[in-house]
Structure 1
Amino acid sequence: MPRSTVARIDLKALRENYRLASELASPALAMAVVKADGYGHGIVPVAQALANDAPKYAVACLGEALAIRDAGLRQPVVMLQGVHAPEDIELCARQGFEPVLHSRHQVDWLAQTEARPTFWVKVNTGMNRLGFLPGELSELMAKLDAIGARSGLQGFVTHFACADDRDSPMTAEQTARFEQATAPWPELMRSVGNSAAHFIPGQPLFDWSRPGIMLYGGSPLVGKTGPELGLKPVMSLEAPLITTRTVRAGETVGYGAGFVVEHDTRMGMVAVGYGDGYPRHAGTDTPAAVNGRRIRLIGRVSMDMLAVDLSNAPEAREGDQVELWGQTVGVDEVARCAGTISYELLTGITARVPRDYR
């Protein structure tokens, strides 16, 4: 019999989070971002669950887009990294994928084929990862006209660097640069809004927003948790207590003997560790829960196990399920204790952990 370590996925909560994103984005439409295997939740089940709500999906790369088509879903799929090889352009045209072109070599590939997919152009307004600078757009548009590809252009996208910090002036600065850069082509659509931008008062989202982490219940904002933003947790990571014991004052727990017990303490071992994707740097005092009671981790996280202090849950017994994050303990709380963000935790759950869809 396999161990009962599992990631339970609440598809109803996923849909409700998407509908909140749509409400916040309105009158813009919201494309559901399902890249990175649906942020660790499973790209196919996530896309299928949103099929009646989302008019468009967004992924990072071609393989993810193909997974959506293989599942029988026909919505357009935006490929945020565009194409990685010239032959991908023809495939995009056939499959209804919408690559985001961000570099000259991708435009050169487009010029070398007769295929004419629908596509977007990325504008670099300050993130400085991908995209054409605002001053390069006129030359780019002239080239698209020259190669007969302009008719396939849907519009422009950019990406915010600091939208997670509502006090940062950079989001407003990037928005102004984007508006000015794209003003000569008012007939084309525009997209700027990541999850965080949905929660910035007065922030224009133009024609299409791109909600990602908020669909899965994680907070996109510094200093806020998902539930504080009205988001519902979608993944509950659970694992069983496999033993309990009392450790005496002065004894140590775990690798490195770094945790010294101050007084006699009932502790338990939980069958989950960094081999399952639980963060190794989530140390002592990181919250967890058992039977609805909040408890804490003690000592180092091992590859397959971690230790918990059961002082606050005296009724807990071997076989009880421990919630590492979910309904009682938020994934954002765990991320903060581990010095990371919920994005990394959710996408980091390994294939060893089965997903249970509900």
Structure 2
Amino acid sequence: MAMAGQMITLESFLRDADLLTPDAANQCAGLRQRLATDRLVIAFVAEFARGKSELINAIFFADAGQRVLPATPGRTTKCPVELCWDERDPPRLALLPIDTRLRPETLADWRDMPGAWTTVELDTSDTNALVKSLSQVTATRYVSREQAVSLGLWSDEHPDDNPPSTADGRVEVPAWRHAVINYPHPLLKHGLVVVDTPGLNAIGTEPELTLSLLPSAHAVLFILGADTGVTRTDLAVWNQHLNDPSLARYVVLNKIDTLADPLATSVERQDLIERQCLSAAETLGVPRHRVFPVSARQALSARLQNDSFGLIGSKVPVLENALRDELLPRPRRRWPLLNPPAVRQAFA
């Protein structure tokens, strides 16, 4: 908290000296928000179909016994989702209606208005019920094109970014503006907050993501497809929203299982993965050690089947341990290890 106060003093000095540029002001604000909280905020950012939700499932929900967050084709999160734990509230899903975008209040304002949210109690002992409840983050509704424009979800000037529409002109939009999942995972209980962002279009149209949530994150996991590398839309997300050197940025090259070739040797496959990692690092301008090749699907499957060696092959524990070791100050490394004892024994 003292350092946050010092940041305010520094900002005032720079402003008085006419040295505080808009970019510097945004970076200072983000740093101040990070210093002022006891929570560790990690944002998962990716375009659609990069396996982001599957990675979250593999890390946080494997103990539920099946895939919890929707992560199959056609069933993906449609709004920003926060995973956290507040012991003052029961396990629940809180959903902010999309129509709140018509009002001037910010997301921070809406957080203080619990009556505006739709809440769903979560039964963490019943996996099927949990899956059904959380599937609501995929909900959509149809509105007229005029309504979509009013909601900020349709632009004639940027047709490529517009959501799907029907032949009669109705537009499919998310039913919810924001979702908060209060879930008693051990890491969340220790103050970790995960922000799941649903693609470039949502980032570009939701001011809270660019002005508050992403700048206040302590780290960003940017998920790419190992089979595609850095695409044009991936690069647009990176340049427009993540090109902040004050952020701890980690690049995750997901779906390395798709690079399997029955005619290639294991060494050739590893060489291919390494080339993809080097290419992503060069394109995004990050060190190679910040690029992590993983298979979220393999990790989730391995954890559900208690397959220690399959989990090692997924390389997800390498990412998890890097996040723990690099992001947590030493006094807070009492947080539980993410990989189970069987995996640690395999490395012994």
Instruction: Give the alignment's TM-score, normalised by structure 1.
Output: 0.29
TM-score, length basis structure 2: 0.29
* Higher alpha-carbon Rg: 1
Name which structure has the greater RCO, CA cutoff 8 Å, separation 6+.
2
More helix per residue: 1 or 2? 2
